[in-house]
């Protein structure tokens, strides 16, 4: 592919995506998502903001170690200490990029930075030069470019390109632009910045008005050759442009777009599920590409048309974005080998035989309760039983709940906390409430319940319920997941999973720090 024809896909699920309130991820979860993005052949993975906290630094470092086929990027404000921290976190990356930014809109420079435009240019230049100590793959973003003055943008971009920035990223930080306007901005910048040919023009659009994907695509039609986006459109406030929508639009409308994406789109749905499972942000059924109904035809006329010729109502093939046609995969009699093989086909890997054995025992338990096991069940099982099981300090041993018409539900619970068994019994307004109260009698976590949601993983009354519980303690927010055919047990598992994350998580500031 000619370089001008290639559209670079820069995924920022692990950085901007994590800035969605409640979407924080552990280091191991970030590595799993990064590996999934790498399998998808995403060009650049923004793994985090290393200066934000020791946890963020370690996550970027772990992703840099684990990923070899995609470039791994770390975010840094335009200050020496941020850039040094990013450089250090990325030291072991096979291919590293430092992304540095400073605000350029009048309102941000005056009210937030309290800096004169000349000082902003000076600081941007210093940052780009400093980043050059660590890598020659440097990206610069004028934050709030969507509300910045065009003459000033041209000046700062020319300066940073001269100083060594290879990518200049134009963010619509507050999601204020309209598609025709944003496209025009990109075209004008490319025309007016004298050394524009020495850098790739990138865009980063927020979705406050629901226009992030449209703005991104308009920018691509006007010369941008990198799109910054996230899986499921996760991100600060209303989110970022959804990777799956940008990628599939460009792939599907090759009659319009003068560029191509090198991504393996069949990895989109598995990656979307993984991100949704880990963050606890469900995907709405009618969400384009990755929603459960995206390829479902309800009306008779549509069904008839699709049966006669798929193209009558479908512009993409479900399997091209990773929806699997062959859904029943395993059952009660499937052995370890079949289990391991199917998980491998789903790109689920284990770090040790112990992890595989644990997951297999959970699978056997599930197969006893549920005759047909679908891919979705396996994915939930692995998210749930996880991969981080050895780090769990609190484990569910048993739960018995009595719920009867006219009676107050009661839960009797046994937990293993740091190896020793503890029992509690509690009543509640419902069985889930009673179970959570019993857990709290033992744990006294002091955490507040922010969100409780149940989704069925597959259809049918024997389906597993997948529960997400969001807990908040002193500003630290975690999501816990649990899946089981019994939704009260799934709920208890999710609550305990969240508590384990709260315990494990080192103090972690919100990634969006104050400004320089
Ligand atoms: O939205 C934004 O401006 C950002 C920058 C750091 C690129 O996320
Ligand atoms: Zn952003």
Q: How far is the CA of 10 from the centre of ligand 2 (A)?
A: 12
> Which residue from 140, 158, 205, 155 is spatially nearest to 178, judged by alpha carbons?
205
In degrees and rounded to multiples of 5, residue 210 shows phi and psi of: 75, 20
Give the pLDDT of residue 328: 55
pLDDT in tens, the chain (516 residues): 666 699 999 999 999 999 987 788 889 989 999 999 999 999 999 999 999 999 999 999 999 999 999 999 999 999 999 999 999 999 999 999 999 999 999 999 999 999 999 999 999 999 999 999 999 999 999 999 999 999 999 999 999 999 999 999 999 999 999 999 999 999 999 999 999 999 999 999 999 999 999 999 999 999 999 999 999 999 999 999 999 999 999 999 999 999 999 999 999 999 998 999 888 888 988 999 999 889 876 667 776 777 778 788 889 999 999 987 545 568 888 888 888 888 887 777 777 888 888 888 888 888 887 777 877 788 777 765 444 555 689 999 999 999 999 999 999 999 999 999 999 999 999 999 999 999 999 999 999 998 898 877 776 777 788 888 988 887 777 888 888 999 999 999 999 999 998 887 643 444 444 544
Residue 46: CB within 6 Å of ligand 1? Answer: no
Strands 167-172 and 138-143, sheet pairing: parallel
| pTM across the whole model | 0.82
Q: What residue owns the CA closest to ligand 1's atom 4?
A: 173
Ligand 1 probe mutation, 50, 79, 102, 173, most atoms within 8 A of CB: 173
Atom 2 of ligand 1 has which residue's CA nearest to it? Answer: 173
Ligand with an atom nearest the CA of residue 168: 1
CA of 204 to the centre of ligand 2 (A): 6
Residue whose CA is at the smallest distance from ligand 1 atom 3: 173
Nearest to 488 by CA among 401, 421, 409: 401
Q: Are 445 and 473 in contact (CB under 8 A)?
A: yes
Q: Is 204 in the pocket of ligand 1 (CB under 6 A)?
A: yes
From the CA of 348, how far away is ligand 2's center (Å)? 30
- Please name which ligand lies nearest the alpha carbon of 78: 1
Rounded CA separation 408/214 (Å): 52
Distance, CA of 261 to CA of 250 (rounded, Å): 7
Our CA angle for 361, 363, 368, nearest 5°, is 100
How many angstroms separate the alpha carbon of residue 226 from the centre of ligand 2? 14
Report pLDDT for 386. Answer: 46
Q: Which atom of ligand 1 is nearest to the CA of 171?
A: 3
Per the CB < 8 A criterion, the answer to whether 225 and 217 are in contact is no
Strand pairing partners for 345?
none
Query: Which residue CA neighbors atom 1 of ligand 1 most closely?
Result: 173
Closest ligand to Cα 52:
1
Find the ligand nearest to 167 CA: 1
Under 8 Å between Cβ of 383 and 278: yes
* Atom 8 of ligand 1, residue of closest alpha carbon: 16
Ligand that comes closest to the CA of residue 169: 1
Q: Is 141 in the pocket of ligand 1 (CB under 6 A)?
A: yes
Q: What is the DSSP letter of 230?
A: B
Residues 450, 452: Cα–Cα separation, whole Å: 7
Helix axes 375-385, 268-279, angle to 10 degrees: 40
Q: How far is CA 354 from CA 388, 419, 420, 492, in A?
A: 11, 18, 22, 24
- Report the separation in Å between the CA atom of 285 and the middle of ligand 1, taken as the mean of its atom positions: 28
- Least Cα distance to 90 among 80, 82, 79, 102 occurs for 82
Q: Is 147 helix (H, G, I), strand (E, B) or coil?
A: helix
Q: How many CA atoms lie within 13 A of 35 on its CB side?
A: 15
What is the rounded CA–CA span in Å between residue 468 and residue 456? 11
What is the best residue among 206, 208, 216, 238 to mutate for testing ligand 1's pocket, by most ligand atoms within 8 Å of CB? 206
Sign of CA dihedral 198, 200, 206, 212: positive
CATH superfamily assigned to domain 389-508:
Alpha-isopropylmalate synthase LeuA, regulatory domain (3.30.160.270)
Structure tokens at 287: 């969400």
The CATH H-level superfamily of 8-258 is Aldolase class I (3.20.20.70)
Q: What is the DSSP string of 405-467?
A: TTS--EEEEEEEETTEEEEEEEE-SSHHHHHHHHHHHHH---PEEEEEEEEESSSSTTPPEEE
Q: Which atom of ligand 1 is nearest to the CA of 174?
A: 1
Quickly tell me which residue has 């650049």 as its tokens. Answer: 44
Q: Of 13, 14, 16, which is best to mutate to test ligand 1, by the most ligand atoms within 8 angstroms of its C-beta?
A: 16
Q: CA 67 from chain center: how many Å?
A: 16
Q: In the chain, where are the structural domains located?
A: 8-258, 328-385, 389-508
Q: Does ligand 1 come within 6 angstroms of the Cβ of 183?
A: no
Please identify, by atom number, the ligand 1 atom nearest to the C-alpha of residue 75. Answer: 6
Residue whose tokens read 């059924």: 285
Strand partners, 414: 398, 423
From first CA to last CA, the distance across the chain in angstroms is 40
CB 508 within 8 A of CB 18: no
Q: Write down the H helix ranges in 259-299.
A: 268-279
* Residue whose C-alpha is closest to residue 486's, from 453, 443, 454: 454
Question: What is the position in ligand 1's atom list of the atom closest to the CA of 101?
Answer: 6
Spatial separation of the C-alpha atoms in residues 32 and 9, rounded to whole Å: 19
- What's the 497 CA to ligand 1 centre distance in angstroms? 31
Whether the CB of 130 sits within 6 Å of ligand 1: no
Q: Which residues, at least 6 apart from 411, have a Cβ–Cβ distance to it below 8 Å? A: 399, 400, 401, 402, 425, 426, 427, 428, 431, 434, 435, 437, 438, 488
DSSP letters, 160-229, are: HHHHT-SEEEEEETTS---HHHHHHHHHHHHHHSTTGGGSEEEEEEB-TTS-HHHHHHHHHHTT--EEEE
- HSE value, Cβ hemisphere, 13 Å, CA-based, for 501: 31
């Amino acid at each position: 592919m000619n370089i001008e024809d290639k559209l670079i896909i820069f995924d920022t699920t692990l950085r901007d995506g994590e800035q969605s309130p409640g979407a924080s991820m552990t280091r191991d979860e970030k590595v799993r998502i990064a590996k999934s993005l790498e399998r998808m052949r995403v060009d650049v993975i923004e793994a985090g903001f290393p200066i934000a906290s020791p946890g963020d630094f370690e996550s970027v470092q772990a992703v840099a170690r684990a990923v070899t086929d995609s470039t791994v990027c770390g975010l840094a404000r335009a200050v020496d200490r941020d850039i040094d921290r990013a450089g250090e976190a990325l030291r072991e990356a096979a291919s590293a990029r430092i992304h540095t930014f400073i605000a350029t809109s009048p309102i941000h420079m005056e009210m937030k930075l309290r800096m004169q435009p000349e000082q902003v240019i000076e600081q941007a230049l210093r940052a780009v030069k400093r980043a050059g100590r660590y890598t020659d793959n440097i990206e610069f973003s004028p934050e709030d470019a969507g509300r910045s003055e065009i003459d000033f943008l041209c000046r700062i971009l020319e300066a940073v390109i001269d100083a060594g920035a290879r990518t200049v990223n134009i963010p619509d930080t507050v999601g204020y632009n309209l598609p025709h306007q944003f496209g025009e901005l990109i075209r004008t910048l490319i025309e007016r910045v004298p050394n524009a040919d020495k850098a790739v023009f990138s865009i980063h659009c927020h979705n406050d008005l629901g226009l992030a994907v449209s703005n991104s695509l308009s920018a691509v039609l006007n010369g941008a050759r990198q799109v910054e986006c996230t899986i499921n459109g996760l991100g600060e406030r209303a989110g970022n442009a959804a990777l799956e929508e940008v990628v599939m639009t460009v792939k599907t409308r090759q009659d319009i777009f003068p560029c191509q994406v090198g991504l393996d789109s069949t990895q989109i749905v598995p990656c979307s599920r993984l991100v949704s499972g880990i963050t606890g942000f469900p995907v709405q059924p009618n969400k384009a590409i990755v929603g459960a109904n995206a390829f479902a035809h309800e009306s008779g006329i549509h069904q008839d048309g699709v049966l006669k010729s798929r193209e009558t109502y479908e512009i993409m093939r479900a399997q091209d974005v990773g929806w699997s046609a062959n859904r029943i995969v395993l059952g009660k009699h499937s052995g370890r080998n079949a289990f391991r093989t199917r998980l491998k086909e789903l790109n689920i890997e284990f770090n040790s035989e112990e992890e595989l054995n644990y997951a297999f025992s959970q699978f056997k338990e599930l197969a006893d309760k549920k005759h047909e096991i679908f891919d979705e069940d396996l994915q939930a099982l692995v998210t749930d039983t996880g991969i981080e099981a050895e780090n769990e300090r609190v484990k569910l041993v048993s739960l018995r709940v009595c719920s009867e018409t006219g009676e107050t539900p009661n839960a009797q619970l046994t937990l293993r906390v740091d190896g020793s068994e503890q029992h509690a019994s509690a009543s509640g307004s419902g069985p889930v409430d009673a179970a959570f109260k019993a857990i709290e009698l033992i744990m006294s976590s002091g955490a507040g319940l922010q969100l409780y949601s149940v989704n069925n993983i597959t259809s049918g009354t024997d389906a597993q319920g997948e529960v997400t519980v969001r807990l908040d303690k002193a500003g630290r927010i975690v999501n816990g997941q649990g899946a089981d055919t019994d939704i009260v047990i799934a709920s208890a598992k999710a609550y305990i999973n969240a508590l384990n994350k709260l315990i494990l998580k080192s103090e972690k500031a919100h990634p969006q720090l104050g400004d320089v």
